[in-house]
Amino acid sequence: MDHPYGQLRRDANQILSLMDQGFPFSLGEEERKGIINETGKVLHKLDSLERNALGIGLLGGTGVGKSTLMNGLAGSKIASSSHRRPHTDHVLIYRHTDVPPLPFLDRSEVPYHEITHNISSIEQILLCDLPDFDSIAAEHRERVIRFLEHLDLIVWVTSLEKYGDARFYEFLRSIPKSKRNFLFVLNKLDLLFLDDLQQGYELLSRTLKSFQNHLKENGIDEPLLYGIAAEDPLLTDRSAPWNQFPLFRQYVFQQRDIKEIRSIRTANLDVELKSIFSVLEREAIHLRTLAGCIESSLREMETSKAAWLVEAEKGLSEWLGREWTSLLLHRKGSSALIGPGQAVDLLFGEFRLLRKSGERSIEASSPAPPQSLIDLFKTQAEEVKDDLLRRMLVHSLPGPLLERVESLLDVSARVENLEEALTRNLAVQRQTLPSPSFRGFRFIQHSIYTAFFLLFLAAIGGREAWEGILSGPDWRTALGLLLSWIDTLFSGKGLAALGTYAALNFYFGFRFYRSHRRRVEKIASDGVKQRVKGMLETWENEIQSVIDELEGFRTDIRSKISFMEGKVSSEQ
């Protein structure tokens, strides 16, 4: 049911919709605009062509089945007995609402009555039910003849009962036959098959021959003749084998198509659309090449992906480990270090701050991933892009197509996405910072520092004072010990002891400081394995989205390619 106008319109609309989606990618904006313009013109011209539907006139006596025949052509009921002629000499015109009335019609010349419908199968066909012979008075004859002049096809309808009617042939003789656009239909042949099929066929053959003879006698030597039963409820597909209605219908639609093709040719529309299609054909070739490039790039990506993720995992783990260590180390009010260790920590902390002055303070920082990590992702994403662009360049694909791919793979947007996602992820993780208890560690520090202190006290008490205390512990020996401490403290020996004590404290403070760091690093790195998973997933998703994007793009262009290629080859 795809008639030439419909096909042309569909093609033009499809071209416009391709343009809407940015095709052809290989053309610049100006050239694309040009095509849109051309296609618009084609559609516009088509509009005016469509005002010129195939005009069919049906001539016949009352009750031969003209209305039934029209319904059969339309495939649904457009004509009914309720469509009474206002006057018996009126023409009834069945017209689709989208098609304008016949341009030549002058009501004062040929009185007519229009019935509009919206049955699309016969949109481009104007069915004109002419006044019955029985009622065409001699003075109207001229008008009807003039009306027929404008029609593309004239269908002479008669029926089994009426094909002998002299008025039919009399009228036939009076019509000029120069245009050879006559067609004869003998209706109600089902009445021949009421009894026996064999006998029916014999009757049919005789009847047709007889009708043909009548026509010959009236100057029609080789009539285009169809013997039908218009009322067969299964008109088109499963009608009786002798029923030529399907052939008749096919002929009528062919005439419509021929007229459409002719007017398309006259208006040069086919050539215009063809030149557009040849642009699309080139595009199709480019897109096919591009699809191949994408295919190879995707394969390449699949193999590189594992290595990328390993790199990513390494980078992420390092970052997270650092981030966690520093978070655990610098969490306020929960230092595991006491005394000298704490002092060493403060000392080194100050050093670090001095060295890195100007850098973010850890507590207040927003945990953005480090530049090196971002750069790593950027390198990976750009590797995909570069790989594809390099393949495209090798095949000398046009510049606009390269730009299209580049903007499709928008690397910087993906980098931003990832950066944001990682930052968010870390922020969430920070809320669930573990609080390791360093109670044992603190206890050891307490014990050691206390022991040192006691040792120090013991050392500076002096042998005599201690012996005094041990032999008789009373207030005098205690006072003796105190005096001995003070005495020693201000002597050279005492100073040496104090120095040793301080050095030991510092040494162990440093050891604890180091050991604390190692413990924290261990806790951090133990947690990292688990925590890095989510981030790695984000990373992988972002890479997967490049793959998906490319795959979607490839599928999309594949579907367009078949349209573009299909068109050109079918046009040739």
- The three-class DSSP label of residue 116 is strand
Q: Contact, 438 vs 338, CB < 8 A? A: no
Closer residue to ligand GDP in complex, CB, 200/461 = 200
Number of CB atoms found within 10 A of residue 308's CB: 20
Q: Which is nearer to ligand GDP, 28 or 86 (CB)?
A: 86
Residue 68 found at the interface with Mg ion (CB under 5 A): no
Considering only the stretches 62-70, 255-263, 449-457, 496-504, report the one whose residues sit in contact with Mg ion under the rule CB under 5 A: 62-70
Taking CB under 6 A as the rule, does residue 244 contact ligand GDP?
no
User: What's the chain's Rg over C-alpha atoms?
Assistant: 50
What residues contact residue 255 under an 8 Å CB cut-off, 6+ apart?
A: 54, 152, 153
Select from 13, 17, 37, 62 the one that contacts ligand GDP (CB under 6 A). 62
CB 159 within 8 A of CB 186: yes
CA pair distance 547, 535, nearest whole angstrom = 19
End-to-end CA distance of the chain: 21
Taking the complex as a whole, the smallest distance from the CB of residue 61 to ligand GDP amounts, in Å, to 7
3-state secondary structure of 152: coil
- Residue from 162, 188, 259, 516 touching ligand GDP (CB under 6 A): that is 188
What's the min distance (Å) between Cβ of 64 and ligand GDP?
A: 5
Shortest spacing between CB 100 and ligand GDP, in angstroms:
25
Q: Which does 523 bind (CB under 5 to 8 A by kind): ligand GDP, Mg ion, none?
A: none
- Min CB(123)–Mg ion separation in Å: 22
* DSSP code of residue 86: S
**Tokens 């009474």 label which residue?**
84
Q: Is the Cβ of residue 187 or residue 244 nearer to ligand GDP in the bound state?
A: 187
Q: How far is the CB of 145 from Mg ion (least distance, A)?
A: 21
Round to whole Å and give the CA distance between 409 and 293: 14
What is the number of other CB atoms lying within 10 angstroms of the CB of residue 528? 21
Q: According to CB under 6 A, which residues from 1 to 60 bind ligand GDP?
A: 60
Q: How far is it, in rounded angstroms, from Cα 360 to Cα 214?
A: 109
Which among Mg ion, ligand GDP, none contacts residue 90 (Cβ within 5 to 8 A by kind)? none
- Give the nearer residue to ligand GDP in terms of CB position, either 66 or 391: 66
Query: Measuring CA to CA, how many Å separate 570 from each of 278, 288, 293, 563?
Result: 12, 19, 27, 11
Q: By CB under 6 A, tell whether 230 contacts ligand GDP.
A: yes
Collapsing DSSP to helix, strand or coil, 445 comes out as: helix
Stretch of 26-34, 227-235, 295-303, 388-396 contacting ligand GDP, by CB under 6 A: 227-235
In the set 191, 347, 415, 536, which binds ligand GDP (CB under 6 A)? 191
C-alpha 145/C-alpha 265 separation (Å) is: 30
Of the listed pieces 32-40, 63-71, 139-147, 311-319, which binds ligand GDP according to CB under 6 A?
Answer: 63-71
Q: Is residue 65 near ligand GDP by the rule CB under 6 A?
A: yes
Query: Among ligand GDP, Mg ion, none, what binds residue 65 when CB lies within 5 to 8 Å by partner kind?
Result: ligand GDP
Tokens describing residue 463: 């042998």
186 counts as binding ligand GDP under rule CB under 6 A: no
| The token pair that represents 323 in the structure block | 């981030």
71 lies in the binding site for Mg ion (CB under 5 A): no
Only one residue has tokens 């100073």, namely 495
The beta-strand segments (E) located in 61-200 are 91-96, 112-117, 125-129, 153-159, 182-187
Residue span 417-456 as binding mask against ligand GDP, x where in contact by CB under 6 A, dash where not: ----------------------------------------
Bond prior to 398 in cis (omega within 30° of 0): no
Q: Is residue 64 at the binding interface for ligand GDP, with CB under 6 A as the rule? A: yes
Distance CA 225, CA 239 (A): 18
Tokens describing residue 97: 């609402």
Q: Which is closer to ligand GDP, CB of 137 or CB of 194?
A: 194
Q: Do the beta carbons of residue 24 and residue 18 sit within 8 Å?
A: yes
Instruction: Quote the CA–CA distance of 68 and 231 in Å, as a whole number.
Output: 6
Give the one residue of 187, 297, 445, 484 binding ligand GDP; rule: CB under 6 A. 187
Residue placing its CB nearer to Mg ion in the complex, 112 or 449: 112
Considering only 32, 45, 66, 516, the residue that binds ligand GDP (CB under 6 A) is 66
Minimum Å gap between C-beta 183 and ligand GDP is: 16
Of the pair 154, 460, the CB lying nearest ligand GDP is at: 154
The interface partner of residue 64, options being ligand GDP, Mg ion, none and the CB cut-off 5 to 8 Å by kind, is ligand GDP
Residues 68-87 that bind ligand GDP (CB under 6 A): 68
**Nearest 10 degrees: Cα torsion 115, 120, 126, 132:** -60
Q: Quick one: 67 or 239, whose CB is closer to Mg ion?
A: 67
The identity of residue 23, as a single letter, is F
Using CB under 5 A, pick the residue from 52, 67, 124, 380 that binds Mg ion: 67
- Specify the stretch interacting with Mg ion by CB under 5 A; choose among 58-66, 385-393, 509-517, 527-535: 58-66
Residue nearer to Mg ion on the CB measure, 67 or 425: 67
Helix H or strand E encompassing 227: strand 225-227
**Which of 39, 67, 325, 425 touches ligand GDP by CB under 6 A?**
67
Spatial distance between the Cα atoms of 288 and 559, rounded to a whole number of angstroms? 11
Residues that bind ligand GDP (CB under 6 A): 60, 62-68, 187-188, 190-191, 229-231
Residues that bind Mg ion (CB under 5 A): 66-67
